Structure formats: C-alpha cells, structure tokens
Chain A
Amino acid sequence: MKKILIIDDEEKIRAAYRNVLAQEGFEVVEARDAAHGISEILRNQDINLVLLDIKMPGMNGGNVKDLVGRFDLPLKFIVSSVYCVDDQRRYVPGADDYFDKVQGVDVLIEKVKRVLGCLT
C-alpha cells in the first residue's frame, strides 16, 4: 500500500484529502506544518508521496522539499496549493506534479495515481 503524507496547515483540507485518498486505498499521514512534515518524513521512511502545501506558518513548502531533498529519499512530491500552477512552479521548482486545490479531488486522485505509477 502506498503511503502519502499531507503537509497542509488547513485542517479541513487535510481531512478532505485524507478521506478521499483513503477511499482510493492509500495510507495517509498528516502534518499541520513544515516542521512536523519533515519529522514525519524522516520518521516514516516508507512514505512514497508528499502532498505539499506552499504557504504555511513558519517554513514554507519549498523549504520542506529543499531540506528533504538532501536525504536522497525515494520520495515523490506533488505541490498542492491555491496558488495557480505557474506560480507554484516558480515557488517550488522541480516537483513531480502541481495541483491547484480548487480543481477538486478527482484531479488530485488522478495526479496522485499517475505520479505513484498506479496508472498506466
């Protein structure tokens, strides 16, 4: 079972995504900010994908990706923010995919599956 970490400061967003991703058969863990997210990643070495918000109190999503990138983990990143995708690419370059949160959960599920290789 693929394991997904949602790093997002909006509890309601985390709840909604956890809900749908769990329904799709993924194991989901959550972190409410960047610092918690990093410690989750380092503690659970089996995380396959990080759903990463950009604007959060304290460190932002870009910091998380930069920091975690140094550990050479087999991790995929989908940036998930309300910024438009162009801006997301500018703020956090090099992620596997970008998701505008207003696009809805169906788009999210499709992107998650594609990045994790569940779609052919």
Chain B
Amino acid sequence: MKFNSIKFKVGNLFTIILGVILILYSGFLHLSLSQYLINDLQEELSGKVNELGNIIADELAASKRDDVYAVIQRIFSFQYPPKSSIAAAKKKRTGGEPLSDEEKWFVRFDRLDLSQDLVAFFEPDGKLIFRPPNISADDFNKFIAGLDISLHEDTFKEVTINKTEYRQIQAAISLPNGRHVFVLVAASEKPILDLLRHRQKLFMVSIPIVLFMTASLGRLLANRILRPVNSIVLTARQITSRDLSKRLGKKNVDEEMQELVDSLNDMIARLEDSFKHIEQFSSQVAHELKTPLAILRGETEVALRTDKNVADYKAVLKENMDEIEKIIRIVEDLLLLAKLDYRPAFLNFERFDFEEFFTPIFDKTKLLAEEKDITISCVMPQEAVVLNGDPLHLRRLFFNIIHNAIKFTPPGGKVSLAAMAGHDHLRISIADEGPGIPEEYLPCLFTRFFQVPNREEDSQKGSGLGLSIAQSVAKAHQGVIEVQSCLHKGSVFTVSLPLS
C-alpha cells in the first residue's frame, strides 16, 4: 500500500488519528470520573460525620448527662445490627407503627450506614474513645496513623489498610458544652476503583473494535469514492495519440469528480485538435518539401538519361539550385516559425528609431517596385517614434508584406506605405492595388502554407509562409496585423506595434 494514496489515508491514517483521539478521550473520562467519584465519596463522608455529630448532640441532650463516652458506646452498641432487623424496623415505620428506641436507631443507622466503614473517636488530646471492632492492631495503627489533633477542619486523605484503599476523613465534632471530639471515618474506595477498572476494560475492548470498524468502513468508503477514478484511469489508458476520440464518462460520478472529468475531457478535446492540426501541418510540410525534391529528382533523372553538352548540364544544375534554395528557404522559415511560436525569447529586443529602421526597408523595396514599374510611396510619422523590438525580425515582417504588395500589384500600379503614431501604438499600413482577396479567404490568410487560389503569378509562387512569419513576429512583439481588402481594387495590411 502506498502511503500517499487516498485509500491509505482514509483507511489507516484516519483510524490512527481516531485511535489517538479515543485513547486521549477515554483517559480524560477516566480521570474526570474518578475525580467525581472521589469527591462524591468525600461528600458522603462529610455527611456521615455531620450526622454522627447530630446523633451525639441529640443523644447527649436526651440522656441529660455529659458523658460522651457513654453516648458513643451507646451509638455503636447499635452498630452493625442484622439486616433483617433493619428491614423489620423500616417496615414498621412505613406501616405507621410506633418504633422502639432500638428500632429508631436501626432506621437512623441505616440512613447513616457505617457498616462498611471504619470509625474511631478521640479526645481532643488524641486519647482513644472508641475504636472499630474486628480490625487487627496493625490495621488499626495504619488507620489512625494520620490523626492530627491540631487540625479542626474536615481533612481528607487516602490510606491503605489490609491492601484496600480507603478514603479517610478527619473531623472535629463540637459538643454542647464547648468541648469537641475528633472522629476518623474511612470508607473503602473499592467500589469506585472497581467501577473505574471495569470501564477501563470496556474501553480497552471497545476501542480496538471501533478502530477496526472505522478502518474497514474507511476502506469501503474510499473504494466507493475512488471507483469513478478507476473508471477514469481505465478510459484514460485507452486514449492515445492514435485515438483521441474517446471521452471520460460522467455517469454515477460525484460533483467534484464531474469537474475533474470535464476538465480532462476539455484537455483531451484540445489535444485532439492539436494532433489533428499537427497531422495536417506535417502533411503540408511534407507536400511543400517534397514538391521541390520531386522536381529535383525528375530533372536530374531526365538529364542523366541522355548525354548532353556542358551548357545543358549547367542549365539543369542551375534549375536544381533554384529548387535547393526553395527547400532551404522552407526549412528555415519553418524553423523560424517554430522558434517564434515556442521560444520567442530568442528575439533580441532593443530600442530603435522607427524612421531610421524603416528607411532602408523602403529603399530596398523601392528597387523591387521599380523593376515592375510600380510607384511606391511612404509617409513617415511626424514626430520621431521609438520602438522596442527585434529590428532583424521586424524587417522580415515588413519586407514580407511589402513584397506581397508589389508582387500582386500590376505594373504601373501603386503601393502606398504610411506610418502613424497613435496614443500607444504605431500603425503602419501597406496598401496595394492588387486583385484583392476574396472575403472567404481572409480568415485563412495567415495560415501556414495557405495561398489564395487562382492567382496568376505562378512564376513567383511563394512558400505560403511569408504572412505566417509576419504575424508570428507581430505577435511576439504584442502587435497585430489587420487586413482590409476590396476585390479588384486592392488590399490594405495594417501592422500595429506597441510604442515603448
């Protein structure tokens, strides 16, 4: 079993925690109960001493003599009457019959019930008045060992007599003539200790049972809670890059799990899209790379089939060079796109003046335009504008778009460039007088390898990556490229770059 598994935590960890809590709780219960019972016993002892005081006072008053010895002797001569006698006296009293003196004592003593206790009386100077019968001298000595005649308040202590724990009270009983006697009463703690021991045994048996049940229930519960997880795992195992069509089921799944299932399903859907995209893209890459390779192979094979003169071979090699260059360009463009998309940090950002940056681009494209008898104009921003970006790749962005504009503008046409600084963006528009782009193709204009169909410029067919690169460069600079196009009139590409 793994220690960090939910099953372990629910099944065992909670059981351990519950065990510790139960043990601590039962310990606390034991302590408080024994405290409560001991207090109860002490109160009972205090009550008995009080009652003894009352009896002595009553007896002294009734006998009209001042003989404490005689009174105590008399009291305890009634002690330990047979149970049957007490029961008979009680019966008589409930029946309303008059009770004899002796019977009255039986009832009073029954209320006092000293039958299980040890009682001893002492003169104020510690001289023994009365000692409990049926007790050995050794035990008696242990019983009275704690007597302290300097103490007049009720005092409690624990003594062990004949291997039994007793709770003992020492009290002073005041007599009518201002004198007092000391009394020691000891009651056995055995019933209390037996009760506590019994409870302790109960705990020792019941706690392991409770813990075992908790552990079993916990494991059952964990299994039940985790059942959907197992089904998710099973389905997830079936989902591979070959088959992303499966989705995780939501039947009988708890609410929290549903969220998990939804998130996972969303993730799988996104993965499926990505894989489809990758598949499509790699098929396109293969197509674009294989086309020049097929041409290379075809031309080379044709050249090798018959002997030719040097000029013909050179012509073939020159054609081959064109195709090789095309392949290199596609590979480099793809690498650049991958870097722009997945590692934009490779760009070298610096601050530069826009006009200083843009003039050489304009000059270079001007030469291209002149070759095609196209007029190209440029309006620079009125104030100096500083951009933060990678000039090398921004140059590529503008060159790609302007190159397209020149390519699609017919000879004698016009290409207009204009840069305008706005509040926080610099907008550079490139307007051509080309055939325009049909509206349905606008959304895919920046898609890799996309080329607007039915364009006549077969000889200048590009790789279909130029605008993708332009857009990726713009994105890497937190910029955007927008296109407006009017069929047969021309297109306007607007590049917005944030001002530094």
Contacts and interface: CB of A to CB of B under 8 A. Distances in A.
Interface of A: 9-13, 15-17, 19-20, 23, 32, 55, 57-58, 82-84, 87, 100-102, 104-106
B363 interface: no
A13 B298 contact: yes
Given A55-B287, A57-B453, A87-B283, A102 B293 contact: yes
Contacts of B454: 57-58
Interface of B: 283, 286-287, 290-291, 293-295, 297-299, 301-302, 305-306, 319, 323, 451, 453-455, 458
Given A57-B454, A58-B453, A58-B454, A105 B302 contact: yes
B295 A13 contact: yes
Closest 8 CB pairs of A and B: A16-B298, A101-B294, A82-B290, A12-B295, A57-B453, A105-B301, A19-B302, A16-B302
A104 B306 CA distance: 16
Given A9-B458, A10-B295, A57-B455, 12 more contacts: A11-B458, A12-B319, A16-B302, A17-B298, A19-B302, A20-B302, A57-B454, A82-B294, A101-B290, A101-B297, A104-B298, A104-B301
A101 B298 contact: yes
A102 B294 contact: yes
Contacts of A104: 297-298, 301
Contacts of A105: 297-298, 301-302
Nearest to B323: A12
B297 A102 contact: yes
24 contacts: A10-B291, A10-B294, A10-B295, A11-B458, A12-B298, A12-B299, A12-B323, A13-B294, A13-B298, A16-B295, A16-B301, A16-B302, A19-B302, A20-B301, A23-B306, A55-B287, A57-B451, A82-B293, A83-B287, A87-B283, A101-B290, A104-B301, A105-B298, A105-B301
Contacts of A20: 301-302, 305
Contacts of A101: 290-291, 294, 297-298
Contacts of B453: 57-58
Contacts of A83: 283, 286-287
B301 A102 contact: no
Q: What DSSP secondary structure best describes chain B's contact surface? A: helix
A15 B300 CA distance: 12
A104 B297 CA distance: 6
A106 B323 CA distance: 21
Nearest to B297: A104
A102 B291 CA distance: 8
Contacts of A87: 283
A10 B298 CA distance: 12
Nearest to A12: B295
A41 to B, nearest CB: 20
Name which of B294, B297, B451, B453 has the most chain A CB atoms within 10 A of its CB.
B294
A20 B301 CA distance: 9
Contacts of B298: 12-13, 16-17, 101, 104-105
Nearest to A84: B286
Nearest to B322: A12
Given A13-B294, A58-B453, A82 B301 contact: no
A102 to B, nearest CB: 5
A100 B73 CA distance: 131
A65 B291 CA distance: 22
A39 to B, nearest CB: 16
A92 to B, nearest CB: 14
Nearest to B301: A105
A19 B300 CA distance: 12
Nearest to B295: A12
The listed residue with most A CB atoms (<10 A of its CB), out of B283, B323, B451, B458, is: B458
A57 B450 CA distance: 11
B220 to A, nearest CB: 52
Nearest to B291: A82
B475 to A, nearest CB: 28
B301 A106 contact: yes
Contacts of B286: 82-84
B435 to A, nearest CB: 13
A88 B298 CA distance: 19
Question: Which of A16, A32, A105 has most chain B Cβ within 10 Å?
Answer: A16
